[in-house]
Chains A and B, each alone.
Chain A
Amino acid sequence: MESELPITVIEPSRGWVPVRLSAVWEFRELLYFLIWRDVKVRYKQTVLGASWAILQPFFTMLIFSIFFGKLARMPSDGVPYPLFAYVALVPWTFFAGGLTLSSNSLVANQALIRKVYFPRLVIPVAAVASGIIDFVIAFAVLIGMVVWYGVVPSAHVVWLPALFLLALVTALGAGLWFSALNVLYRDIQYIVPFLVQVWLYCTPIVYPSSIVPERWRPLYAINPMVGVVEGFRWALLRSNTAPGPMLLVSAVAALALLIGGLFFFRRMEKTFADTV
């Protein structure tokens, strides 16, 4: 009977360590509960509750439509500007929220980290994943708008789940780097909001990527959100930009960000409990 018990070996680790996603899978129930907690707590004691998930991208869209669409006459690839902006803001809001939450997640959960063992990866993953509900709500409004403007989506919509996954990978990849760094350097919590703001303007949200000269586009698409946003427009709105090569560059960049983030996070992980 004794030999059936699993043996855990506790030893100091040195340098780079394997990512061990299997350990995260083992703790999937904890992951589920952390996501559930974050969702549940987010809108407690708010008057408007989950409607915030719609209000935020919707009002941003209104402001953008007035200033960029109407007054600045920004081109929008032949799509009505409000729809053009909102289709970009839905994945963007998910990304920006996920990045912000996950960057702060380890510090926010420091009491847990100092007391209980579990794969630390669970925490930033839960932070990003907790935004999925908000995304779904905002996306429902998007569908309503698509219908309202009489746009008939092409068969490309089947790519939407993959594009959403790309947004998730990007948010998590960046979130892993920043959350681990935030444990050591609290400067990160000031850097991230600023970074999100800059990132917004480096992503074709208020403008179409067609205004970027063709030869610069592959370089431009190293920002994975370029691929996500242009992909959303292409899949839902039949806009004439073919995002093929840009999407490929974005996907590779996002994957590199995630894999690098995973290894960096695991390398830093052993110090979290002592330094957070």
Chain B
Amino acid sequence: MTMSSDYAIRVEHVSKQFRLGVRQNDFPTLRESIASGVAQAGRTLARLAKPGTPARVERDILQALHDVSFEVRQGETLGIIGSNGAGKSTLLKVLARVTEPSAGRAEVRGRLGSLLEVGTGFHQELTGRENVFLNGAILGMRRAEIRRRFDEIVAFAEVERFIDTPVKFYSSGMYLRLAFAVAAHLEPEILLIDEVLAVGDAAFQEKCLGKMGDVANDGRTILFVSHNMTAMEALCDRLIWMKNGAVIADGPSRDIISTYLNTYVTSRTEQSWPDQSTAPGNEHVRMHATRVRVQDGVIDDEITLSTPLRIEFEYWLADARTQLIPNLYLVNSHGAVVFRTAPTDLTPWQNRGDGRMLVRDSCEVPGNLLNDGTHRIAFSLWRGHEIVYWVDDLLVFDVRDTMEMRNAWYEKWPGVVRPILEWRTESSVSDVRHRVP
């Protein structure tokens, strides 16, 4: 790692351990403390008597961060990804000085504000106005600063009419909007953001993300933890990937995300069964191979929104004289059937010989049809209206969003499909053609 001089955050070998014993029973009582003191003394005695007894029971310690080092340049937007419990939030808490590291050192250059949880410090009995001031002070804003930005905050949250109502009468949406609005108007040099974007409805989320984009474009440094890969890729220049408290990858967002998705989305773009006796099937059919790939490409090519696909099935038929129609169901990650398709031209079935036969079917799916996300393919063979063979999840693949033509919409694009359609706008002045996804 290069040690540059224009860093905003520098983290060097930071580790953090929690003692689980204390956290598990939420509140130890004096009696329990005395009891565990006695137990500890007992272990010490046992160790003296019998060397080799462990000094402390290992499972009591949780290593939340393990030798974490990285640097963030000024003005950089760094995202942190990783599964739950990977240490992302603990890392932000250490940087925000909420909790102390057990070892290592970090330097933060400039004022640091954190949005670790929206609405922290809101008091139910106080009005919206009062809570804006209270929450602003908690987040480190000066009173004059809050007063100056007050109207902006209230307008952003869209709660003008209720600003003098106690927040206990707010709907959860209003409450969250106001809370986010206060936090979003912080003006520190460095901003830590933890999962606050999962707030409110889609329209408000879009607004929040737009606000974040503004903050990033302002030249401020942002550390951003989220599970929303789309937002991460759009907003972050660089990502670090954490696992079990350690940084396992650090690099450009695009690279890290595709590695991350390849690891976590169990995609199955190719399968083959050389041994017929163990291949899936029944007395009529035995699968031989199947694959999905980019048309005119190789198996490992990335499938994106715009790439046309070729899906292939190879199978053995026990009796070539039976006319079986292949069917393909494409199912998205919500379980919705995107489409069912079957060949319309049945001429290849004529003039088939007797006995066993290897059949190869392929189906072409045009680009700019599917939406992004995980897709699964179910394959079936039909004789008239009768199902001869059916297999679910034969192939699983991910269609990736390349973030082109989104018009600053970072959220999940709605819809089962996502075709690019021809649009036409007419006006009295001229005739303009343009394309909108």
- Taking Cβ atoms with an 8 Å cutoff, the residues of A that contact B are 2, 5-13, 29-30, 32-33, 36-37, 40-41, 44-45, 111-118, 184-187, 270, 273-275
Contact = CB atoms under 8 A, between A and B. Distances in A.
Interface in B212-250: none
Interface of B: 5-6, 18, 22-23, 27-30, 33, 74, 93-112, 114, 116-117, 120-121, 123, 125-126, 130, 133-134, 137-140, 142-143, 189
Chain B CB within 10 A, most for which of A115, A118, A187: A115
B70 to A, nearest CB: 14
A268 to B, nearest CB: 12
A7 to B, nearest CB: 5
Contacts of A8: 97, 107-109, 112
19 contacts: A2-B6, A5-B109, A6-B109, A7-B108, A8-B97, A8-B108, A10-B94, A10-B101, A10-B106, A12-B104, A33-B138, A37-B134, A40-B125, A114-B98, A115-B114, A117-B114, A184-B33, A185-B30, A275-B23
Given A186-B29, A275-B22, A111 B120 contact: yes
Contact of A41 (B109, B111, B123, B138): B123
B134 A33 contact: yes
A9 B126 contact: no
Contacts of B106: 9-11
Contact of B27 (A12, A30, A186): A186
Nearest to A38: B123
A14 to B, nearest CB: 10
Contact of A116 (B22, B120, B189): B120
B95 A10 contact: yes
A153 to B, nearest CB: 39
A185 B126 contact: no
Contacts of A44: 125
Given A37-B123, A186-B27, A115 B108 contact: no
A30 B136 CA distance: 9
B116 A116 contact: yes
B29 A185 contact: yes
Contacts of B121: 111-112, 115-116
Contacts of A184: 28, 33
A37 B117 contact: no
B137 A33 contact: yes
Nearest to B94: A10
B109 A270 contact: no
Given A2-B109, A8-B112, A185-B30, A117 B97 contact: yes
Contacts of A115: 98, 114, 116-117, 120-121
A187 B29 contact: yes
Contacts of A2: 5-6, 74, 109
A37 B132 CA distance: 12
Contacts of A7: 107-109
Contacts of B29: 185-187
B100 A6 contact: no
A6 B110 contact: yes
